[in-house]
Amino acid sequence: MSNKNRNFMEELAKELEMNKNAETSIDSSNKQKIEEKPKPKLEDVKESKDKSPDSFNKETFTRIEKEKIKLNPKVIIGAVIALIAVGILSYFFFFAPKIVMPDFMGENLTELTTWASQYEIDKTGIVINKEYSFEFDEGIIMSQSINPGSKVKKDVKLTIVASDGADPDEIVSFPDIKNMNIDEIKDWIKENKLSKTKVVTEYSTTVEKDMVIKYDLKNVNENNFTRGTNLNITVSKGEAPAGQITVEEFTNKTYEEMKVWANSKKVTLEKTEGYSDTIVAGNVISQSVKSGTALKEGEVIKVVVSKGKSVKIPNLVGYTPTMLEAWSAAPDSKVTVVKKEVYNSAPYGNVIDQSIAAGSLVDQGSVLELTISIYLPVLQTSSDAWYGKNYMELIAKVDEWNYRGANIAAGPWIAGEYSNLENGAILEYVCADANGNELPGNSQYSRGCERPLPLDAKIGMKVSLGKYSSSEPDPVPTIDPPKVLSKLEKKQQEIVIRTSPKANVSISLLGDELKNPDSKKASDDGLARFENVDLTNVNLITVKVELDGATNYVDLNVLND
């Protein structure tokens, strides 16, 4: 505080003290006057008519005027000035900005970050804009919105412009690199700030030391070369030291060419194969030792050889014929498709299986087997399609279906009859499901055979025994279809063989083992009955009939539910 202000404050204090003493004197005088008034005595108190003391009568009060204090105007003005001075000093001490803004021009952004952390500057108030600059390197501050030396607070709003490096899209003149040495190339890179240009060295038996072997421009040519273009320059280190071999570049060259070189240099090659969309089959995709590297005899180079473009197999299951045709015609679907047609409940022509798993990568031309549905087999389109035909023709038809996965059983399981049709002609047939239940048909005469047959269906037939003859046994004896009494115990109550009267009939049961044959003599009506026959594990019954030196055989399949 200055001497002038200090003297003023002392005078103000004296003035206030004098006013206080004067006020104290006035208070003492008034107090003395009040105390000098005599107090009434007890006997002086008179009773009133209503027995109340006189002291309760109306009293009279006298106003005492207090002497006003007069303040000196100079004192008041001085006090106001003093308060203003204190306020100003408080502002500068508690609220005024105290942080000095540095000069960040030419400094790295890390200096700004360090300063902000040191003084606990609110970083949300700092905005950094970047601009391309050839003069300033990337990350160097070029300007600031607040002048250096200014005092700021922690919540200062500061805008910084920093360099983003030289403009990568600026066209740069491309020199005759093939005739430049390594020092000239490095100078060119430095002068033009070519951050994407790299120089590597390797041994060479054909290019002298420090001269360019090759350069590789990515996706541009010399006329539109920019600062941001990727450029790789390979410079010769001269010949490899004595006793060593300089590896050459074989990428995109044939593997056979690399083998010839390796054999001449006594280098071992380890070959693996891989797919490539850009390198044709048989050419080198990559080599483990870079060109220009020095190797000793007998050392190993790992080589990946192209198998050409791969074909990715999609999930074709469920494809319709139209979808499959479109996929096969696509340029990326160069595989050999082999179709296998089978009966299936899937719609006709749909793919139901494929030999190569979905997502697999295969060579072009690989064989892909597709299983195609031809829907379900159809036995007939009219109710008398097979009447009169030999039953073996129907069995042959069923075998054809089964070759394509139908798994249908058929046989003459209904007892045959003598008729005017030739021996073995079909008189009647019925279609059943896998459990032996007759399938629904379009009419009572269709016997379930007019609609497409489900997989694992059964076709039972009644065939003609030919015209009746007493001299010869019927050449085609028949058998009633066996019935299963229990799923645990298969026993046929009665098997009836119809043949010529008085013929000797014997049956042999074939399964896991040959069971002892049983024989009967046919009755006068040509029936031979075999009771309580155990058909457990029996697949085939062979029937033999003999009469007057004539013999005939027939094999009958057993229905196993």
Handedness of CA 223, 225, 230, 235 (dihedral sign): positive
Q: How many CB atoms lie within 10 A of CB 304?
A: 19
Nearest to 387 by CA among 444, 467, 448, 462: 462
User: pLDDT by residue for the chain (561 residues), tens digit each?
Assistant: 555 445 545 555 565 566 555 555 545 444 444 444 455 544 444 444 445 455 445 555 556 555 655 667 776 777 777 677 656 555 555 555 679 999 999 999 999 999 999 998 998 989 999 999 988 999 999 999 999 999 999 889 999 999 999 999 999 999 999 999 999 999 999 999 998 899 988 888 888 999 999 998 877 888 899 998 999 999 998 887 767 888 989 999 999 999 999 998 889 999 999 999 899 999 999 999 998 888 888 899 999 999 999 999 999 999 999 999 999 998 888 899 999 999 999 999 999 999 999 999 999 889 999 999 999 999 876 667 888 899 999 999 999 999 999 999 988 888 888 888 899 999 988 888 888 888 876 555 567 787 889 999 999 888 998 887 655 555 454 444 443 333 334 555 567 787 778 888 888 776 655 566 778 888 887 788 877 777 777 767 777 888 777 777 777 766 655
Nearest to 212 by CA among 290, 288, 292: 292
Q: How far apart are CA 72 and CA 87, in angstroms?
A: 23
Nearest to 158 by CA among 136, 188, 200, 125: 125
User: Is the separation of the CB atoms in 477 and 522 below 8 Å?
Assistant: no
Question: What domains can you pick out in the chain, each with its CATH number?
Answer: 99-163 (3.30.10.20), 182-236 (3.30.10), 246-306 (3.30.10.20), 311-373 (3.30.10.20), 389-467 (no CATH), 483-557 (2.60.40.10)
Q: How far apart are CA 12 and CA 78, in angstroms?
A: 8
Whole-prediction pTM? 0.43
Q: How far apart are CA 486 and CA 536, in angstroms?
A: 11
Q: How far apart are CA 290 and CA 303, in angstroms?
A: 11
How many helices (H) and strands (E) the chain has is answered by 7, 28
User: Is the separation of the CB atoms in 524 and 533 below 8 Å?
Assistant: no
* Length of the chain (residues): 561
> Containing H/E element for 347?
none
